[in-house]
Amino acid sequence: MKEFTFSYPTKVYFGEGAAKRALRAELGKVGKIVMLAYGGGSVKKNGVYDELLQLLTEAGKEVVDFSGIMPNPTYAKVQEGAKLVKERNVDFILAVGGGSVIDCCKVVSAQATLEEDIWDMEYKSGKFPTTGIAMGAVVTASGTGAEMNPGAVITYEDKMWKGPIVGTYASFAVLDPTYTLSLPMKQVISGAFDTLSHCMETYLGSPRDFNTSDEINEAVMRSTIRNIRKLLVDEKDMDARSELMWTSAMAENGILKIGKVTDFQAHQIEHQLAAYTDCNHGQGLAAIHPVLYRHMAPEGAKQFARLAREVWNVDETDKSEEEIALAGVDALEAFIKEIGLPTTLSEMGITDEGILRSVADTCNLTAGCCKKFERDEIFEILKESK
Ligand code: NZQ
Ligand code: ZN
């Protein structure tokens, strides 16, 4: 096993009414001025904002609003938030939303305690923040698992780059599945597919011999697939929503990555696709995965075949390991179609080959756990995904 250090800085409050339990337990530990950060307004329509405002007021907090955090959050928005934190002497940030709001706040938190620009610090000096304004995360859209890790994905518009920035861990996370009831079904499913992608990109890393992380991962993948199907039969199935909210956190809280080097090539491509087109994260991943995995599977046949067997239950009769591996990719593609997500980029309105070339030329190339790609092959994959 690869060596590791494991600790858990984020306390999770899960279930209906979790916000009340969390804020009543946690707010006494933080200062008076709280920044309430959210997106384009869904939290005002579904009552979550009012509920949290009441809890903050009861606790005697002074509230500073930070609104308008967009999907695919921008670096400019991060800087706006950090400026507001400094101007208003904010003691605590409560991020309320999906991955975009939580990611933006993780970086706002770190930037607000730094003199230097966080992008320059991380990308030019290779240093990472060690301080930040304390924060908590209230999840209203699950899938990214952003609430339990310090990593954020931010779009730097001037640089045409969407990439990782390390920010701050939330000290606590509220996961109340009832908060997801107002989320459009397409976004619920896109988020759940993002979870599945995180699992697969971790599973397909190395090492690939039997190991505890991969066996837990198989269970998380099976649960994600089963509960997406359950939810598509009954949108109000709270058990399925609960399971999906927890598999989302499990996929990105580090447990599945213990002892592994992850792959995440699909994510690197999708992030640059979003930099150029502002596309939806889960849907972009869905469109990229089948072709990318057909290019990868022959070189990682053993692990792809295990995925096919353990997660997709493919019929192995008379098949070689590579054929089993590819049958698993067929099953993945059929599942994406079944759940109504795109399996081609054209379904998302992305057809411009100039854009696809730019994505291929600028995306990160990972160490290549199954296969190390060259840029021309990424371009071919994107064209085949059209
Ligand atoms: O802005 P509002 O009005 O709140 O609307 C949002 C947004 O339009 C809406 N929404 C959220 N909760 C809702 C709701 N609408 C109704 N009812 C609710 N309860 O949903 C829309 C999408 O929200 P967003 O936060 O953008 O979605 P998601 O959670 O999928 O986050 C995507 C972002 O997370 C990054 C992605 O790259 C993308 O930028 N990721 C972060 C990761 C991490 N930090 O670990 C890992 C992921 O791989 C991913 O890259
Ligand atoms: Zn993702």
Question: Is residue 197 lining ligand 1, measured as CB closer than 6 Å?
Answer: no
Per-residue DSSP letters for 58-93? HTTPEEEEE--PPSS-BHHHHHHHHHHHHHTT--EE
- Residue 226: the pLDDT is 98
Question: Is residue 153 lining ligand 1, measured as CB closer than 6 Å?
Answer: yes
Task: State which ligand 1 atom lies nearest to the alpha carbon of 282.
Answer: 30
Residue 21: how many other CB atoms lie within 10 Å: 14
- Residue 209: the pLDDT is 85
Name the pLDDT band for 335 (thresholds 50, 70, 90): very high
Residue 300 near residue 371, CB atoms below 8 Å: yes
- Residue with tokens 């499990």, as numbered in its chain: 250
Identify the CA nearest to 191 among candidates 234, 158, 147, 256: 147
Encode pLDDT of 50-60 as tens digits: 999 999 999 99
How far, in Å, CA of 153 to CA of 100, rounded? 8
- Residue 207: the pLDDT is 85
Name the pLDDT band for 253 (thresholds 50, 70, 90): very high
Ligand 1, atom 43, residue with closest C-alpha: 146
Ligand 1, atom 8, residue with closest C-alpha: 71
Ligand 1, atom 22, residue with closest C-alpha: 71
Print burial letters for 78-105: b (CB count within 10 Å at least 16), e (below 16).
bbbbbebbeeeebbbbbbbbbbbbbbbb
Share of the chain above pLDDT 90, in %: 95
Encode pLDDT of 56-85 as tens digits: 999 999 999 999 999 999 999 999 999 999
- Residue 172: the pLDDT is 98
162 SS3 class: strand
How far, in Å, CA of 371 to CA of 183, rounded? 37
The mean per-residue pLDDT over the stretch 184-206 comes to 97
288 pLDDT higher than 80: yes
Question: Is residue 167 lining ligand 1, measured as CB closer than 6 Å?
Answer: no
Question: Is residue 328 lining ligand 1, measured as CB closer than 6 Å?
Answer: no
How far, in Å, CA of 17 to CA of 13, rounded? 9
Instruction: State how beta strands 172-175 and 11-14 pair.
Output: parallel
- Residue 208: the pLDDT is 82
Residue 145 near residue 191, CB atoms below 8 Å: no
> For residue 236, how far is its CA from the centre of ligand 1 (angstroms)?
20
pTM: 0.98
Residue 343 near residue 336, CB atoms below 8 Å: yes
Name the pLDDT band for 309 (thresholds 50, 70, 90): very high
> For residue 246, how far is its CA from the centre of ligand 2 (angstroms)?
15
198 pLDDT higher than 80: yes
- Residue with tokens 């057909």, as numbered in its chain: 294
The mean per-residue pLDDT over the stretch 114-130 comes to 96
Name the pLDDT band for 261 (thresholds 50, 70, 90): very high
100 pLDDT higher than 90: yes
Question: Is residue 141 lining ligand 1, measured as CB closer than 6 Å?
Answer: yes
- Overall size of the chain counted in residues: 386
Ligand nearest to C-alpha 197: 2
120 pLDDT higher than 90: yes
> For residue 282, how far is its CA from the centre of ligand 2 (angstroms)?
7
H or E, element range at 216:
helix 212-233
Quote the radius of gyration of the chain (alpha carbons, Å).
21
Contact partners, residue 311, CB within 8 Å, separation at least 6: 218, 221, 222, 225, 328
Name the pLDDT band for 367 (thresholds 50, 70, 90): confident
Task: State which ligand 1 atom lies nearest to the alpha carbon of 39.
Answer: 1
Ligand 1, atom 48, residue with closest C-alpha: 144
